[in-house]
Structure 1
Amino acid sequence: MKTSLKGIKVLSYKGSKFLKTRRTKSIFFTLFSLLYSLFSFAQEQEKDSTKVNSLDEVLVSAVRVTTKTPVTFSNLDKKDIKYRNLGQDIPILMNYMPSVVTTSDAGNGMGYTGIRVRGSDATRVNVTINGIPYNDAESQGTFWVNMPDFASSVESLQLQRGVGTSTNGSGAFGASLNMLTDNYASKANGEISSSYGSFNSQKNTVKFSTGLLNDHFELAGRLSRIKSDGYVDRASSDLKSYFLQGTYVGKTTLIKALVFGGTEKTYQSWNGIDAETLNSNRTFNSAGMYTDEAGNIRFYDNETDNYQQDHYQLHWSESFSDKWSSNLAVHYTKGKGYYENYKYDEPVAGYGPIEPTKMVENDNGELVPGTDLIRQKWLDNDFYGTTFSVKYKDEKLDVIFGGGWNKYEGDHFGKVIWARNSAQSELGDHYYDDFSTKTDGNIFAKANYQVTEKLSFYGDLQYRNVKYKSNSADTGLVDDNFNFFNPKAGLNYEINQKNTLYFSYARANREPNRTDYEGGNVKPEKLNDFELGWRFNSEKFQLNSNFYYMAYKDQLILTGTLDDVGAPIRSNTDKSYRLGFEVDATIKLSEKFILRPNFTLSSNKNVDLAVEGQNYGTTKIAYSPEVIAGNIIVYSPLESLHISLLQKYVGEQYMNNIELASAKLADYFVNDLNVSYEIKPKSVFKSIMITGLVNNILDKKYVSNGYMWDVYPYYYPQAGINFLAGLTLKF
């Protein structure tokens, strides 16, 4: 068995060189010079006939949709998040949205977490923050551990299922997640919140806002720290984050400068456990395990992942008239970090001038020179670019023209920081070095036209160009240039004030990621997405239902296996599809009782699947449960008291595509209980909120994720009953 798995972030996310000092200074000088110029320009504006558009209205209009658009979506806003925001990651907070399945390596929703939508993993979910791409350029994944407690700075988020509308960043093959950070506050305020719970989990957050100074300027910020020992042995997390924004509000102008980021140190819990260990010792963690010279089993105390990521964004939203508005943004992200492994009985080939101390077995069972060593795999990257949009709106026509240009520069290198009885290598030497770049540019135009009083037409055209270069030993020399055309169209028919029907078609194309190139001959993917939906809206009952059919060509499906550093291996399948029916509703039974159920029924199939020359016919796509259901029961006996029972059911699913019996993950049904009580004192504090969350109240022993090691399954068990309790003071 491997002793170090799942360097998902390692090979893929964090790689590039530090910017040269002159270049760094130039970028920051340009950003702040532009900010100063925009502030100066904004102060000169005297257009009394128009009102300032909020960031929601101008920026978000380029990436979000409303019920007037024939797209399947769900929203989650700050008030929905606040009752459960006790330190768990954003995917966990999204767990009860339609077609969503979440998982946690540490088992308790802190540290490394993941999300799948309609069976599509995180590399297929396009994530933007204020319209700026967040997915890693190389792996296409999203690493929430790099943004601890980001939920405390989110105003709202929208999850578009399927291809959705054109947006910046990598193409959406399962969903698009658009997050909007905090809006400005008119009045000064502050907030202190702390929580504590099982596994020594704790979160401490401080927020402030100056309010609008002189009716124009606001400065706001947040500091957070999250710590947890994790449910799994040694699966600890030490996460720190910050968020700072300056806002200028004019009569027709909104300018925001944001700086946010975080550091994370997590003890690796990526290996999972085999079936026997799952039954005997669910929390066992093999990461860092080795045998010392005396024959004792020990665990390396620094088997950790370490990373820092800092984001800089500058947004300028302008309203030129009642019909015209625009948004321009520039951004820069710096990331650097490494993960560290103790490698026991490691072949020395490929590690540079290291003296072997013994003979060990390699992957082929051959005896080769080896030793014990400690290595670090580093990533050092820069990501920067610009996005823009221009909007025109009148009574019948709503048009947005936009696009973006973004570049990633990544350096990947490795160090051996210790090897047993070896004096040939120097501290700081690299045993591998490779560099990669990726340039991603797109332009799009989308429009909603009111054909008649009840019928509207939606059209969306996007052209995207992607250039990727890499020179690693694993990928070989890569120099690819992709040109993608992604058309979308749909109809929205309003039967009456309560009932609306919609139909849409969307085309998406997507390039391979870094790990895909390691597998050799790889093709880009193509998707045709058809959505047919019905929306019903009344005072006490809201219903959203839709059928979807997603037909793929050369889909890169998860095989269920991992490479030598734990990155998921994917392979092209000629034809595949996802066919499903989704329903979500809000039912107001009374002033005190609200139900929010949702469910998804789906069929996810590979057609004539061929693996290593063998045809398996039509099989189920890996990690794609046919049934996903959620429900939230809200009881509010008092205006200040909220009691929620949150329920989630995920049907059985396979961890590979050939329906191997041992690869089946069992279904599970989990219940959480959330209670919050708010006190509004007459002095000192505006609000005192006491919150409690009991996860898995029925103590269900379940597994939400896993992988296959040849024909042997490995699992990521989730925590049984556990709790979090918090106190929030607002003033």
Structure 2
Amino acid sequence: MKTFKNVLLVALFFATATVLGQTKLTGKVVDEMGEPLPGANVVVKGTTNGSATDFDGKFILNASSNTGAVVVSFVGYTNKEVSFSGTSDLGTIALQPSNTLDEIVIVGKGVIDLVQERKTPVAASTIRASEIQAKLGNQEFPEILNTTPSVYATKTGGGYGDGTLRVRGFGQVNTAVIINGQPVNDMENGSVYWSNWQGLSDVASGIQIQRGLGASKLAVPSVGGTMTIVTKSTDNNEGGALASSFGNDGYYKTTLSYNTGVNEKGWATSVLIGRWQGDGYVDGTEGEGYTYLFSLGYKPSEQHAFNFTFTGAAQWHNQRSTSLSIRDFMNYGGKDFRRFNADWGTLNGEEYSFRRNFYNKPIATLNWDWNINDNLSLSTSVYGSWGRGGGTGSRGSNFGINPFRKDLTEAIADGNLPYRKTDGTIDFDAVVANNRAGNPYTGDTGRGAYQGLIIGSNGYSEDGVNSNVAIRRASMNSHNWYGAISNLKYELNDWTFGLGVDVRSYEGFHYRVLNDLLGLDGYYSTGNKNLDTGVIQTETIKASPFNDSGLGGAKIDYYNVGEVNWYGANGLVEYDNNDNLSAVVQFGLSKQTYTRIDYFDQINNVVSDTESKTGGYVKGGLNYNINDAHNVFFNSGLIKRQPFFDAVFPNFSNNINEDAENETITSFELGYGFKSEFIDVNLNLYNTTWADRFISRTIRGTDAVDDGTATFSGLKQVHSGIELEYTIRPFDRMRLKGMVSVGNWEYKDDVTASVFDSSQTLVDSATLYIDGTKVGDAAQTTATLGLNYDITSNFDFSADWRYAAQLYSDFSFQLDTRNWANDAAFLSPNNRGALELPSYNLFDIGAGYKLNFDNDSSLSFRVNVNNLFDTEYIAEASSSIYTDDTDPQVNPVTTVSTYKGIDTRNQVWFGFGRTWNLSLKYQF
């Protein structure tokens, strides 16, 4: 990975100067494997006098003094200071990989909060661009972080981009994702959709996962941690690259990039475009997407630097979202049952699925760095994103397609799913035939044009309208998001003072439209309660990211808009004596306003009142470097986080929830670090309490109400644990990197829900006995060990082992006592808690080779195999059925089927089997 002879030559430094002096300094700069580092920066300490290493890592530098020191730096490596006295050959200077991305950022550095080793008192792990491009392949983007402590990333249903990330047991709703300093978690519900960011592997310069409170000055949802992604800024050198990769199940991706280099006036441009496609490891999950990036840089002087970036990843992919039991997989999945998908089938001989996700979310950013004087600087970022798209699903009577309160196995055995084939897939040709078999429309009041046509509906069955139909609708979740971040920094001796502002304006559009009528001529919609009668619609949209999203057209079922505005200010006081002590205190205050507009369901209350919530945080810590090898740190903080949009407006209503309160997060952490030429070790102890939570869930089957909503307030979780991360360099060309993390993540205290009927009338209460229940969906014990070995300067090999244990079924707060696979067991005291799933071990291998040509170009090859031994394992589960449990709604079970010791009635997602990818890259 270390022979960058044809890349990154002076790539991140605008100027190096060599001046005549009295002392001639020479030397060679190499990486931790002994390979030359071309383009490394060598500067006489305290001056701007410097030079860059050549292709062989060598440098010549004239210093004006006989004694002093040089500072050697390179992107992704820790700076090293070397003293000299007189004319001197400084010999071979070896740099070690750093745990920071700080040197990567050229423009916008002041708004990107990165952890610096042995300085910032925060636990963090860094993945550099070279590792992302080498090892990620066709995996989900967050899966590259599975080698870091307390991170659990999975593919969930298995569609392209449908992966999820958990940090210290907290889901990605509570893990801040920041790209170039800008928050990307949905402002209404905190979600992150990785399918919107499929191209990040192509444009990322690196990732830093900051566990716990994190280093960000923004008021972001850093309950579990902060994932900071730094994308490529405008490259300073002319050149480009053409890359292609191939993988299992028809995966193919091509990427082309080109950089103009910096001209004499300080302008530079970088462009990247890519396309991918694949059939999907899971049956019926084909997809296609495009990646694009345009970056324009301008540096007119040493005081000012500008960079404009426009990037995005438009895509569509079929999904697997219908919950499946283990016995469903085994009964209908065939030899490799992990691939089975209940959402797809064939239509006219082609793959067709009820579930398709499609989205395009471009984001534009303008960064400006202004060095006002030697002590004062201002960094500003203005951004906007425009998301368009959504997901499709079935709509219509449940007339024999999807199981209802049963798993697929039981529903088919009962004869309830006549539109399923014997292999469990959907017969869409039969669905179309059933839709076309309806009577012609006979109504005439204002709708004469539709007479004689085949019209279907979900809520109307008169005038020849057929309600025994199924169509494919599209639930849209589009948005317009604008924001600005600006940080002013003043440095005086050992002190740094910072003030910042963070403003955001978000408008989310939520509605349903017709996507595929599946043989019908039109659809009779009764969704708009403001109308006395329904409306016949024939207009459909395509489930594609580059087509009309239907925002200005006819809609069905629901149409509402969420408006969220954000006004924040933050401050920082930092002390760093540049020797052994650094300390920081950060604080922030934010005001969030919420407004809900409902054009369909809120008669005479279309626009809600505006609610305001004020939140804030204070956090700080201290790092002490005992000596060059040892350091210790601690951090602590308190966050009062405003509730999500649905907590302010629960139950899809425009009525403000007066009981919604800020969530309270408290955290404390201790850390220890050790660094030597042979081994680096980081050890962390943490405790995080997440309290005052509010959630709302749709329920069915309580004693007092048939269907309604349950609201829970005062929920509390406590997450504590220990993390060990290490890198060992046993000899030249070899590096061992691993981690061990052990957590104890539990719910605390039982909780009582208020139960509302469909008219939002309080009718009942229900207690969930969850005190001590383990938090699910993330392995609480994980370990990894990775080997990287450079067999030659051009040929490398890697092998990785990963272990996951103490993985529990997810607890989703559902109260449907008529659905056997839900959380109804928690309505009883002394229940057995969440089901523990089997532990598992996975092994990955990879190898790469690089050919260097005389014209400063190169050709690289890389092959990776993930899950080498094709291990079967359960990655997630959403039910807690024990082998001796019986369904209270049916006769007691006399024979129980098990898989690795757990009941096969449990609903799970299996992890992927063996997968592979091969990549080629030509760089010029």
Q: Which has the higher contact order (CA 8 A, sep 6+)?
A: 1
Distance 2:178 2:724 in 1: 25
Correspondences of 1:453-472 after superposition (within 5 Å)? 454-472=580-598
Residue 623 (structure 1) aligned to one of 742, 759, 777? 777
5 Å-filtered alignment, 1:386-401, equals 386-401=484-499
AA paired with 2:586? D
What residue number does 2:797 align with? 643
Secondary structure of the corresponding residue to residue 273 of structure 1: coil
Give the structure 2 partner of residue 665 of structure 1: 837
Aligned to 2:481: 383
Cα separation, partners in 2 of 1:130 and 1:50, compared to 1, 3 Å: farther
Aligned to 1:176: 226
Separation in 1 of the partners of 2:476 and 2:458?
27
What residue number does 1:492 align with? 623
Residues 678-717 of structure 1, C-alpha deviations (whole Å, 9 max, x = no match): 111113x621110000010011112222324999632222
Q: For 1:58-82, what per-residue CA distance to the aligned partner results, in whole angstroms no more than 9, with x for missing partners?
A: 7335422213121111112212222
Q: Deviations along 1:29-77, whole A, 9 cap, x unmatched? A: xxxxxxxxxxxxxxxxxxxx98999872673354222131211111122
Whole-angstrom distance in 1 between the partners of 2:635 and 2:589: 19
1:707 maps to which residue?
878
* Structure 2 partner of 1:304: 356
Find the aligned partners of 1:359 and 1:462 in 2 and give their Cα distance: 50
1:258 and 1:299 map into 2 onto residues whose CA distance is: 37
In the alignment, which of 335, 343, 346 is matched to residue 287 of structure 1?
343
Greater CA drift, 148-157 or 229-238: 148-157
Aligned to 1:328: 380
One of 129, 136, 142 as aligned partner of 1:91? 142
SS in 1 for 2:146: coil
SS at match of 1:278: helix
Go from structure 1 to structure 2 and tell me whether the alpha carbon gap of 1:541 and 1:260 turns closer, same or farther (over 3 Å shift): same
Taking only the aligned residue pairs, the percentage that are identical comes to 21
Q: Across the two proteins, how many residue pairs are aligned to each other?
A: 661
Q: Do the aligned partners of residues 398 and 558 (structure 1) sit closer, same or farther apart at CA in structure 2, a change above 3 Å counting? A: farther
Q: Please, which moves more after superposition, 604-613 or 701-710? A: 701-710
Question: Contact between 1:60 and 1:180, CA under 8 Å: does it hold in 2?
Answer: no
Conserved? CA contact 1:58–1:326, under 8 Å: no
Shift in alpha-carbon separation, 1:638–1:378, aligned structure 2, 3 A: same
* TM-superposed deviation, 1:413: 1.4
Aligned partner of residue 339 in structure 2, secondary structure: coil
Deviation at 1:316, TM superposition (A): 0.4
Contact kept, 8 Å, 1:58 with 1:325, in 2: the verdict is no
- Which position in structure 1 is the counterpart of 2:270? 220
Greater alpha carbon shift after TM alignment, 73-82 vs 252-261: 73-82
Match of 1:592 among 733, 745, 761: 733
**Equivalent residue for 2:555?**
430
Give the deviation of 1:157 after TM superposition.
Answer: 2.1
The alpha carbon displacement at 1:576 in A equals 2.3
CA separation in 2, counterparts of 1:452 and 1:380?
A: 48
CA contact (8 A) 1:558 1:622 kept: no
471-480 vs 386-395, greater mean Cα deviation:
471-480
Cα pair 2:800 2:845 within 8 Å, conserved: yes
TM-score (norm 2): 0.66
1:678 maps to 850
Contact map agreement 1:304 1:339 (CA 8 A) in 2: yes
**2:680 paired residue number:** 542
In the alignment, is the contact (CA less than 8 A) between 1:87 and 1:226 conserved in 2?
A: no
Paired residue for 1:577, among 718, 733, 744?
718
SS in 2 for 1:619: coil
Please state how far the C-alpha of 1:624 moved relative to its aligned partner.
4.0
* Structure 1: gaps spanning 5 or more residues: 1-48, 361-367, 563-568
Mapping 1:61-76, distance limit 5 Å: 61-62=110-111, 63-67=113-117, 68-76=119-127
Q: How far off is 1:146 after superposition?
A: 1.2
C-alpha separation between the residues in 2 aligned to 1:598 and 1:559?
A: 37
| Structure 1 counterpart of 2:441 | none
Q: CA deviation at 1:346?
A: 4.6
Q: CA–CA distance in 1 between the matches of 2:458 and 2:374?
A: 77
Q: Residue deviations 1:241-263, cap 9 Å, x none?
A: 10000001232222001111121
Aligned residue for 2:912, secondary structure, equals coil
1:448 Cα deviation from its structure 2 partner: 1.7
Cα pair 1:257 1:313 within 8 Å, conserved: yes
What is aligned with 1:33? Answer: none
Match of 1:566 in 2: none
Cα-to-partner distance string for 1:203-228 (whole Å, 9 max, x where unaligned): 11101101111161110011111212
Q: In the alignment, is residue 504 of structure 1 matched against residue 697 of structure 2?
A: no
For residue 725 of structure 1, what is the aligned residue in structure 2? Answer: 918
Question: What residue is the counterpart of 2:865 in the other structure?
Answer: 694
Cα distance in structure 2, aligned partners of 1:652 and 1:496: 37
Instruction: Name 1:232's counterpart in structure 2.
Output: 282
d(CA) in 1 for partners of 2:748, 2:319 = 37
Give the aligned partner of residue 117 of structure 1. Answer: 167
Which residue of the partner structure matches residue 25 of structure 1? none
Q: Deviations over 1:562-616 (max 9, x none)?
A: 9xxxxxx995454321111011011111112211111111111112233631434
Which among 536, 550, 565 is matched to residue 439 of structure 1?
565
Shift of 1:141: 1.3
TM-superposition CA deviations, 1:311-330 (whole Å, max 9, x none): 11100012223322221111
Match of 1:374 in 2: 472
Root-mean-square deviation (CA, aligned residues, Å) is 3.4
Give the SS at the match of 2:202.
helix
Indicate the SS of the match to 1:167: coil
Give the partner amino acid of 1:642: D
Structure with more of its chain in strand, by fraction: 1
**CA distance, structure 1, for counterparts of residue 49 and residue 327 of structure 2:** 65
Q: Contact 1:346 / 1:373 at 8 angstroms: preserved in 2?
A: no
Could you tell me how far 1:271 is from its partner in structure 2? 2.2
Q: Residue 218 of structure 2 contacts residue 570 of structure 2 at CA under 8 Å; is this kept in 1?
A: no
SS where residue 83 of structure 1 aligns?
helix
**Bigger Cα displacement from structure 2, 57-66 vs 406-415:** 57-66
- Equivalent residues of 1:272, 1:706 under 8 A apart: no
Change over 3 Å in CA distance of 1:323–1:357 after alignment to 2? closer
Partner SS for 2:195: helix
Q: Which has the larger radius of gyration?
A: 2
Is the 8 Å Cα contact of residues 205 and 230 (structure 2) preserved in structure 1? yes
Matches within 5 A, 1:257-296: 257-280=308-331, 281=333, 282-288=338-344
Amino acid across the alignment from 1:315: N
Unaligned runs of 5+ in 2: 1-46, 51-101, 400-434, 436-446, 448-453, 461-465, 525-535, 540-553, 652-656, 701-709, 753-765, 812-825, 882-886, 888-904
The residue aligned with 1:315 is 367
Pairwise CA distance, 1:285: 1.0
Residues 433-466 of structure 1, C-alpha deviation per residue, up to 9 Å, x if partnerless? Answer: 1111111221111122147953332111111111
Closer, same or farther: CA 544–571 of 1 in aligned 2, 3 Å: farther
Q: Which amino acid aligns with 1:485?
A: G
- Match status 1:341 vs 2:341: no
Shift in Å at residue 167 of structure 1?
3.3
Separation of aligned partners in 2, 1:536 and 1:667: 31
Q: Alignment partner for residue 245 of structure 1, among 295, 308, 312? A: 295
